[in-house]
Amino acid sequence: MVKPMLQHLFLLGHPLGHSVSPAFQQAALDHAGISARYEPADVPPQDLPTAVARLRQPDVLGANVTVPYKEAVMPLLDEIDGRARAIGAVNTIVRRGRRLQGYNTDADGFVQGLRERTGFELGGQRVVMLGAGGAARAVAFAALESGVASLTIFNRDLERARRLLNDLEQVTSVGPGIARAMLLDTKSLAGAVVETDLLVNATPVGMYHTASEGTSPAEGIVLPASMLVYDLIYNPRQTRLLLDAAAAGARTLDGLAMLVHQGAEAFALWTGRQPNLEAMFRAAEAALAGKKG
């Protein structure tokens, strides 16, 4: 009997020390009995075109793309899916023949994680988001597409938040007065959270191995108990923001469910099959436990 050719999947990023995607994607491939290896590829910027060209070979199913290449990879692909184009970033590449197609699964991962873990539906809700980077783009797109009552984007760099809003207003049907951009300062944020149903942290403030480890992006702000606080950070699972929110009586959600769900959607795009989510979560949790501190 001829053995099936071993297929390959890559995670393109730089640096890659933090990622748990290889652990949970490999677990899903193994669970499904698919003969494929998911490998981290730490690619320095000058080598990105060569790394993308490698994806055109017949032994490759596709790739994930992480920081800092989610935008830079776009001109190197043959087609970009409509959602990825609207968000302005690609986190998943699928090889079809010799053509490479780019997708973004972060927005759906954000919504699925929220829905599965808390039952929270975005439609009609008042949302405050901290950050205006790559992850924030996907979150803001998902929020506006889901018909939130309001979306306030706080960022240190106000111009960046305004650009994000402007870009999304071109591609989503946002009603007047729904979305606004504000400079991140304690007084304005304290005022905004009083009338908020969902607070999302899409900044790295509080992440392990950063200068802000152990701190909160909402330091010194009274968090209402009626609110749900969703931190996209998954290492640590319990950030200072989530600990403060829980102490104030608010519901909390960390970023692991989003991570696994964006990965599950990528898996389905590469293989045409739904992965075993439980196997993915187990592997992600085990990999995180090994990376703590």
Q: Does 87 bind ligand NAP (CB under 6 A)?
A: no
Only segment of 186-194, 239-247, 256-264, 285-293 that touches ligand NAP (CB under 6 A):
256-264
> Which residues, 221 to 240, sit near ligand NAP by CB under 6 A?
232-234
How far apart (Å, rounded) are the C-alpha atoms in residues 223 and 229?
A: 9
Of 196, 188, 218, give the one whose Cα is nearest residue 206.
218
Q: Does 106 bind ligand NAP (CB under 6 A)?
A: yes
Indicate which single residue of 202, 227, 266, 287 sits in contact with ligand NAP (rule: CB under 6 A).
202
Is residue 3 flagged as an active site residue? Answer: no
Only segment of 27-35, 52-60, 204-212, 237-245 that touches ligand NAP (CB under 6 A):
204-212
How far apart (Å, rounded) are the C-alpha atoms in residues 262 and 135?
A: 12
Buried b (16+ CB within 10 A) or exposed e, 153-176: bbbeeeeebbebbebbeebbebee
Report helix, strand or coil for 197: coil
Indicate which single residue of 118, 146, 172, 212 sits in contact with ligand NAP (rule: CB under 6 A).
212
Q: Does 150 bind ligand NAP (CB under 6 A)?
A: no
Indicate which single residue of 203, 216, 239, 271 sits in contact with ligand NAP (rule: CB under 6 A).
203
How far apart (Å, rounded) are the C-alpha atoms in residues 127 and 64?
A: 28
> Looking at residue 46, what DSSP letter applies?
G
Minimum separation from the CB atom of position 1 to ligand NAP (A)? 40
> Looking at residue 67, what DSSP letter applies?
T
Of the candidates 3, 70, 291, 292, the residue annotated as catalytic is 70
Q: Does 151 bind ligand NAP (CB under 6 A)?
A: no
- Within 70-179, where are the H helices? 82-87, 106-118, 134-145, 158-171
| Binding site residues, ligand NAP, CB under 6 A | 67, 106, 109, 131-136, 155-157, 160, 184, 202-205, 207, 212, 217, 232-234, 255, 258-259, 262
Give me the active site residues, please: 70
